A = this chain, B = another copy of it.
Amino acid sequence: MFNYEHCCITMNKKQPTIEQHHFPWDHPRFRSWIAVARACQLMQQTLTRALADLDIKPPHLDILINLYRFEGISQQELARKLLVGRSNMSMLLPQLEKRGLIERRGDEKDKRVLRLSLTKSGRELTEQAMEIQTTLIGNSLDNEPIEECLIVAQSMERLIARLLKEETDLD
């Protein structure tokens, strides 16, 4: 990611506009996206530190929160929600199972799928971790007007829909 502190979005108005947007970082949308990516990366690192006491990392929390919300979800569905591969779940879930945080039970109708759920201690840990994450996000964003948060959310959701659509169009 980049530092664009010293880069002008709008060029000197007295100059002809022919050379505008010559470099990527002169495009407002490009710069906007870079800021998003940097913010994400930083937030991820901060969250990693904040969760260290609970001995979990952001990927584990993502899993736990989804099991919290969607009891009985399958590994495949979980992977799709998290935008990761199935193999990733096959690596991480047994760890959480060994720690007694989750349970994997075979579906009775379809012997291929494993249904996931939180154990009691898993639910407790998830609640602590969600509290930490919510506080972090709150602290980081509570200066941002709520309307701007909504604008950001809507903008991102349109982008997500767009990229997901292209992805499925490829298959």
Closest to A159 in B: B39
How many angstroms from the CA of A39 to the CA of B159 in the assembled complex? 7
Within the complex, what minimum Cβ distance (angstroms) separates A25 from chain B? 7
Size category of the A interface is 35 or more
- Take A24-B134, A28-B153 as given contacts and tell me if A159 and B140 are in contact as well, using a CB distance cutoff of 8 Å: yes
Within the oligomer, what is the number of copies of this chain? 2
Partner of A83, one of B24, B45, B149: B45
Task: Judge whether B141 and A159 touch: CB under 8 Å.
Answer: yes
Task: Judge whether B1 and A152 touch: CB under 8 Å.
Answer: no
Task: Judge whether B153 and A152 touch: CB under 8 Å.
Answer: no
- Take A2-B65, A43-B33, A137-B29 as given contacts and tell me if A83 and B38 are in contact as well, using a CB distance cutoff of 8 Å: yes
